[in-house]
Amino acid sequence: MKAQVLLPKVFNFPFTYNSIEQEKIGDLVEVPFGTKNEIGVIWKNKYSEPKNIKIKNIVRKTGYSIDAKLVDYIEWFSSYNMVPIGLVLKMVIGGTKNFFKMKDGPIQIKKTKLKKFELNCEQLKALKFLEKVQNKFDVSVLQGTTGSGKTLVYFERIKKIVNQNCQALVLLPEIFLTNDFKSRFEDFFGFEPAIWHSKITPKNKRIIWKGLINNKIKILVGARSALLLPFKKLGIIIVDEEHDTSYKQDEGVTYNARDMAISRANFEKIPIHLVTSVPSIETYNNIFNKKYRHIKILKRFNDYPLPETKIINLNLNKIKNKFIAKETINLVKQYLEKGDQILFFINRRGFAPYLICKKCSYKLICSNCSLYLTFHKIKNKAICHHCSSERILKTKCRSKGICDYIMYGPGVEKIFEEVKETFPAEKIKIFSSDYLKTKEKTKNLFKEIKENKLSILVGTQMISKGFNFPKLNCIVVIDADFSGRGYDLRSTEKNIQLYHQLSGRAGRFSSKSVIIYQTLTPHDITLNELIKNQSEELLKNELILRKKNKLPPFIRLIAIIISSKNRSLSLQGAREIKNKLNQINDLEVLGPVDSPLLKIKKNFRSRLLIRFDNRFFLQKKISNVLNGLKISSKIKLMVDVDPINFA
């Protein structure tokens, strides 16, 4: 008897093997492949068997199996995102043959001290609303003012699901969120959560994977990749901060984890809750069209008000060669005198984003990518934020001697120096991914913040996401000018969400707090509407613009990025691909054009943009055309379904 076995490799089809016993679809088996043995999965018998090839035998069954719903989901995921099905399987099983042979002993669930929580009236109402749908597919949006206790509501929801012997998956957008989230989780549930992300050890991956497939682990908290794990009895999915663009995976297998989570819930026939303070434009549109159920929590914990807002016009208030206005300094001093913490926010890593020689006007640009290098004082080097290449600043000047660079624009390190100079008596630290590379550093910084051992934080966008700082009552946005970089479809939407989230960091346990917006455009409509807390009006206007300009969520976009070491070759390849794609009815192919980021990692990039009615599922037709292409091996293709920017 023959069996089809799908391998976790770059293949779009399974391989035929001789059965050794009665295997069923979903069984994980060890099979010979090339010179090695590999772990694969028994797949559906709908593929043609090879002719005139000696068929090898399956070596053994591993004793593990994924269920039919997950098999169907893998096929759909592959088809929708236009990626090889074998690579999707790799995200599901991920292990080598030794992974399945190793014995790790029983799962140790570390108990912690339980704290008692009581839901207020609004939270109870939200919980009852979410509970109306049980044991079937349903998308519900839990929207709440930042600091209103949304997490507590879905914790209660999870507790009831787990008590029915089901499992829960909580997706978070960033790995850094898990530390603060973990302590809140332990206080509520009385044990440590299983946490899944790319940085956990192989041993922990084995323990969690086996715990999930055997229903020994009931609650998993994870980043994007947790979505494809083989749960035995998944009962609910929570997508926290659903609006966050970090849910989009841009390298390797490209997909939007929020959208794929909704689809997985559909295949599993279970409820999914999208949790947010300001919904993404797609979610807002689905709420508006009554496709998703929707409940709001309006009041913050203990009725603490949202921060007051203050716009400071930098045209009138800026100190020469400084980035913090005089009026800002005076306001900050008032809060420091009360013992409050301050956050200076600048959404740029490093010290300075542009370096230009004042003698020869040479711009320090990455040799691999068409991007300015950012100077990082922590390393005393200029770094590319795309390929991570580093350069020392000693560059031979075209005029004479060594280049003498002027550093334009502020990064988080430059603001840190200015804050230190302005407030020399205060303890100040940077909150940025460059400074929190280890678990220990992150843990220590959280401890200092919560114990009020720090007066001032200087942070990047990372700080706006889900952190709870009790004494933080004053936030200064260094640069609140709402300018997008043309190629970002979502710049307005992202700014709305970012500044709403940021304002929610302040005044969580105080009746008086403030967020200060420093700007060169004090009359900007978006900023002023945001200050009036009119984020939904802004989203409504954004939807009108999207519809008018034939943009998502009203149509579907698929980007094809064609890259090559040779610029003309990438454009030529793009033209050939466009000619083939034009044979498909009901789609429009725009381009080719040079990417705004023309060169990345020494490859020149051209782009095509496919646009079609999102009621149609044209991915299979497009895949068939792309798979049938005979293009130069010097050209690489990347397909991005539902792109979030056009870089």
Q: What is the arithmetic mean of pLDDT over 292-302?
A: 89
Q: Looking at the predicted structure, is the pLDDT value of residue 486 above 60?
A: no
pTM: 0.91
Supply the pLDDT for residue 487: 58
pLDDT in tens, 509-545: 677 889 999 998 888 877 777 777 677 888 898 899 9
pLDDT tens-place string over residues 61-108: 999 999 999 999 999 999 999 999 999 999 999 877 777 777 776 677
Rounded distance between C-alpha atoms, residue 410 and residue 351, angstroms: 6
pLDDT category of residue 178 using cuts at 50, 70 and 90: low
Superfamily of domain 2-95: PriA, 3(prime) DNA-binding domain (3.40.1440.60)
Where residue 190 falls among pLDDT bands split at 50, 70, 90?
A: very high
**For the segment 542-598, what is each residue's pLDDT rounded down to a tens digit?**
899 999 999 999 999 999 999 999 999 999 999 999 999 999 999 999 999 999 889
Res 145: pLDDT: 84
Could you tell me the two tokens for 139?
A: 């998308």
Which two tokens mark 448?
């200092």
Same topology, domains 2-95 and 555-641? Answer is no
The structure tokens 């009236």 sit at 121
Q: Is 628 or 141 the better-scoring residue by pLDDT? A: 141
pLDDT at 300: 79
Average pLDDT, the chain: 89
Query: What confidence category does residue 330 fall into, taking pLDDT thresholds of 50, 70 and 90?
Result: very high
pLDDT tens digits along 453-468 = 899 999 888 776 666 6
- Provide the pLDDT confidence category of residue 606 given band limits of 50, 70 and 90: very high
Residue 504 pLDDT > 50: yes
- What residue spans define the domains of the chain? 2-95, 121-300, 304-348+410-545, 555-641
To which CATH superfamily is domain 555-641 assigned?
Ribosomal protein S10 (3.30.70.600)
134: pLDDT strictly greater than 70: yes
Among 617, 620, 638, which residue's Cα sits nearest to residue 628? 620
Residue 485 scores a pLDDT above 50: no
CATH superfamily of 304-348+410-545: P-loop containing nucleotide triphosphate hydrolases (3.40.50.300)
219-271: pLDDT as tens digits:
999 999 999 999 999 999 999 999 998 899 988 899 999 999 999 999 999 99
Report DSSP letters for 594-614, one per residue: EEEEEEETTEEEEEEEEEEET
**Mean pLDDT across 189-197:** 91
**Ramachandran angles phi, psi of 244, nearest 5°:** -70, 130
- The superfamily in CATH containing domain 121-300 is P-loop containing nucleotide triphosphate hydrolases (3.40.50.300)
Distance CA 118, CA 503 (A): 25
Question: How far apart, in whole angstroms, are the C-alpha atoms of residue 603 and residue 58?
Answer: 42
Lowest average pLDDT, out of 382-391, 435-444, 449-458, goes to: 435-444
State percent of the chain over pLDDT 90.
62
pLDDT score, position 130: 97
> Do 385 and 376 form a contact (C-beta atoms < 8 A)?
no
Tally of CB atoms within 10 A around 20: 14
Query: Which residues sit opposite 363 in a β-bridge?
Result: 356
Mean per-residue pLDDT for 416-428?
95
